[in-house]
Amino acid sequence: MLKIGEYREDEAKTIAGYLKDAGFKVDVKGLVVARTDFSVSLQGKLSELKGHKEFSPKYERFLAAAKASVEQASTQDDFRDHFLSELDPNWREIRSRFTQDLHADSTEDMDEKTSEEVGKSMAEYLLALSFSEDFLDLNNISLGMPIGSSFDDPVISIPVKRNDFDPEDTLRRERMDVDMNKIYEISIDESSAPFYHDIDDEFRHEYQQEFLKIMSMAKVIQYLIEQPEKGKMDIEEFADRCIVDVGDRSVLSIDASLVAEEIARSLEKKGILKMKGNTVKWKA
């Protein structure tokens, strides 16, 4: 089977629908996947961390902005907006510029801030928001509650690089996050790849990488079938014939030699050839 990719449920249904409409035999398999993320931080009272080499004045700015925003916010979205406005009154403009930059072909139209500067600002916003979330959680602070001077020396957490800290530091904290999710793996039978001609144009545009995978397998299958001299050969010779170059000035070079046996077995199911041991025999 040729793996097309792994997708969320809705997208998997869309892709499978396109392929089935084109005549492919489609296999959709649900899988549970786990992603891990290891992080290291320093956690303690503000007074404990202030003298630490990893501490930066920016964390005091983040803390001041968080304190100023708690009483004014009733929802997480309110808090985020107040918090970022305290840090940078122009954050919405910078976010808009960042979004435009992501979808632009060039950065020639960037004037006041370069693309790099906008990216750095966005990275700091993300760091600040993470810091503020930890501040609220570690100090059991609810949105809308009066702060006053109750948290002059709050517990805070600051991230550090995993190899850039003293393992004996009593403020060190390690965290391993394991997120489990369900994805859907889509595969097609290799021998059905030549149906790529019948795939809807919308699929070709929206899923270019997937279309290229299918077309590449199709070119190999077509090359194998159309060879005038087939007869009997060993699997090594068959594998050599699974290396195909298509085109002249613009070349698509396909090397399917390492999956030659899978291709042969797929063609065998279609009655095109017969495998016996290490030998491939084409049927007349």
Residue 24: Cβ within 10 Å count? 23
- How remote is the C-alpha of 136 from its chain's centroid? 29
Q: Is residue 212 within 8 Å of 1, Cβ to Cβ?
A: no
Task: State the DSSP string of the chain.
Answer: -EEEEEE-HHHHHHHHHHHHHTT--EEEEEEEEEEEEEEEEEEEEHHHHTTSTT--HHHHHHHHHHHHHHTT-SSHHHHHHHHHHHH-TTHHHHHHHHHHHHH-S-STT--SS-HHHHHHHHHHHHHHHHHHHHHHHHTTPPTT---TTTTSS-EEEEEE-TTSS-TT-TTEEEEEEEEEEEEEEEEE-GGGGGGGGGS-HHHHHH-HHHHHHHHHHHHHHHHHHH-S--SEEEHHHHHHTTEEEE-SSS-EEEE-GGGHHHHHHHHHHTTSEEEETTEEEE--
Instruction: Report pLDDT for 107.
Output: 47
Instruction: Report pLDDT for 273.
Output: 87
Dist. CA 165–CA 131, nearest whole Å? 19
Which amino acid appears at position 66 of this protein? A
Instruction: Report pLDDT for 105.
Output: 54
* pLDDT average per 10 residues of sequence, the chain (284 residues): 93 94 92 92 90 88 90 89 91 85 58 72 92 91 76 87 77 90 94 89 92 93 81 88 89 92 90 88 81
Q: Is residue 272 within 8 Å of 282, Cβ to Cβ?
A: yes
- Which residues have C-beta within 8 Å of that of residue 55, sequence separation ≥ 6? 49, 158
Q: What is the CA radius of gyration of the chain?
A: 29
Dist. CA 14–CA 274, nearest whole Å? 35
The dihedral sign for the CA sequence 166, 169, 171, 177: positive
> Which residue, 194, 237, 240, 200, is CA-closest to 216?
194
Dist. CA 22–CA 215, nearest whole Å? 13
Residue 91: Cβ within 10 Å count? 20
Instruction: Report pLDDT for 148.
Output: 67
Q: Is residue 26 within 8 Å of 186, Cβ to Cβ?
A: yes
